[in-house]
Amino acid sequence: MEITLNHYLAVAAVVFAIGMMGVIMRRNLIIIYMSLEMMLQAANLTFVAFSRFYNHHESPSYNHIDGQVFVFFIITVAAAEIAVGLALIVALFRLRQTTQVQDLTTLKF
Amino acid sequence: MDALFFWFFSFIMIVSALGVILNRNPVASALCFAFSLINMAALFIMLNAYFLAAVQILVTAGGVMVLFLFIIMLLDVQAAEHVPRQKIWMGFTLVLALFFVYLVALTLHATPRGFVPENNLATEAQTLEPGATPQTPPADLLDDTQRIGNRLFTHFVAPFEITSLLILVATIGVIVICKQDEPRRSPQEDISREAPPVKPEKESAFTL
């Protein structure tokens, strides 16, 4: 059985859905953050899969390595984002002694 | 063989991704996530993205996951969420996720051939840079690291520099956020804690 682009897209969709479930279902801020990162990774997989399978373009200005460059940027920005987010979680924990979202209701209307 | 590896790695990746959201112990969740990332790196290798697979393992599975584990252990997060789970909320989440997967499956099913180029390897030489010499090896043998680097420092040089600025700002931001806001001790207090204040000898001479 030949593995096509659709297989990779389906796997990425499943991983994305699992990450979405984690964000909605879990109450621990750190786990929610991990699930967010998982959704980013699923998007990365679609980028790489498209860059691998869509290389039959006629135009010479088209460069199929661009998808991988995008993934490179996503990984870099995600690393910076994780650092800032975890610092925020640590600051929040210092203030409230908890990482459970049901205890952090200051902004609740 | 290719298909076997694909199914193997994707199965392990999905199972460990489920482990992330179903484990009650955050440390186990983080380890599951690292394992899932490593399997995604294997999928990257199958997609000929060798450089990204290395970056994935080094940066994400190495650096970011160590940061996660460090924070989990630093905060000493409790293992279980003691609040009783609302079954209806979990069911709603599951339905939402399944609906999303169904939508994607519908889209993929509607385009059985549209997303698959006929011969993705035969025409790969056409995507070489226009100035490429005939001695250049075919694109699938070319170093993808070299190609990413070429692209990164020519066409994407402005986003690259902006990313470096972003990392600088993030570093400064983390330092500012994590700075302890404890009240500063005044110097006199410090001196008084270490040693009793020494009486200045010549002060009387000055005051007079």
Render pLDDT for B70-118 as a digit per residue (tens, 0 to 9).
988 888 776 555 556 667 877 888 888 888 888 888 888 777 655 544 4
Inter-residue contact A56 to B120 (CB < 8 Å)? yes
* Direct distance between the N- and C-terminal alpha carbons of chain B, in angstroms, rounded to an integer: 98
Question: How many CB atoms neighbour CB B22 within 10 A?
Answer: 15
* pLDDT beyond 60 at B181: yes
Greatest mean pLDDT range, A2-11, A54-63, B119-128, B159-168: B159-168
* pLDDT beyond 60 at B124: no
Q: Do A17 and B151 touch (CB under 8 A)?
A: no
Q: Tell me which of B130 and B62 has the higher pLDDT.
A: B62
Q: What residues of chain B lie within 8 A of the CB of A89, using their CB?
A: 71, 75
* pLDDT beyond 90 at A18: yes
Q: Do B177 and A84 touch (CB under 8 A)?
A: yes
pLDDT band at B193 (very low <50, low <70, confident <90, very high): low
HSE toward the beta carbon, residue B6, CA cutoff 13 A: 20
Amino acid at B179: K
pLDDT band at B125 (very low <50, low <70, confident <90, very high): very low
Q: Tell me which of B143 and B200 has the higher pLDDT.
A: B143
Q: How far apart are CA B3 and CA A7, in angstroms?
A: 10
Cα of B18 to nearest chain A Cα, Å:
7
Inter-residue contact B37 to A15 (CB < 8 Å)? no
Q: Which neighbouring-strand residues pair with A28? A: A100
Amino acid at A7: H
| Mean pLDDT of the region A63-89 | 90
* DSSP classification of residue B198: P
**What distances in angstroms separate CA B150 from CA A39, A50, B55, B136, one per listed residue?**
28, 20, 17, 15
> If you average pLDDT over every residue of chain B, what do you get?
77
Please state the pTM of the whole predicted model.
Answer: 0.78
| Mean pLDDT of the region A34-41 | 94
Poorest-confidence range of A5-14, A49-58, B126-135?
B126-135
pLDDT at residue B14, rounded to an integer: 95
Cα of B49 to nearest chain A Cα, Å:
7
Domains identified in chain A and CATH numbers? 5-103 (1.10.287.3510)
pLDDT at residue B191, rounded to an integer: 52
pLDDT band at A52 (very low <50, low <70, confident <90, very high): confident
Helices vs strands, H then E, count in chain B: 9, 0
- Among A36, A32, A37, A40, smallest CA distance to A101 is for A32
Only one residue has tokens 């990313």, namely B163
CB proximity list for A70: less than 8 A, separation 6 or greater: A47
pLDDT at residue B78, rounded to an integer: 67
pLDDT at residue B121, rounded to an integer: 43
Q: Provide φ and ψ at A28, rounded to 5°.
A: -90, 125
Cα of A39 to nearest chain B Cα, Å:
10
Size of interface A-B (CB pairs under 8 A): 229
Question: Angle A38-B48-A62 (CA atoms, 0-180°, nearest 5)?
Answer: 95
- Among A86, A83, A78, smallest CA distance to A30 is for A86
Q: What residues of chain B lie within 8 A of the CB of A27, using their CB?
A: 81, 83
Q: What is the pLDDT of residues A91-105, one digit of tens each?
A: 888 888 888 888 888
Inter-residue contact A6 to A45 (CB < 8 Å)? no
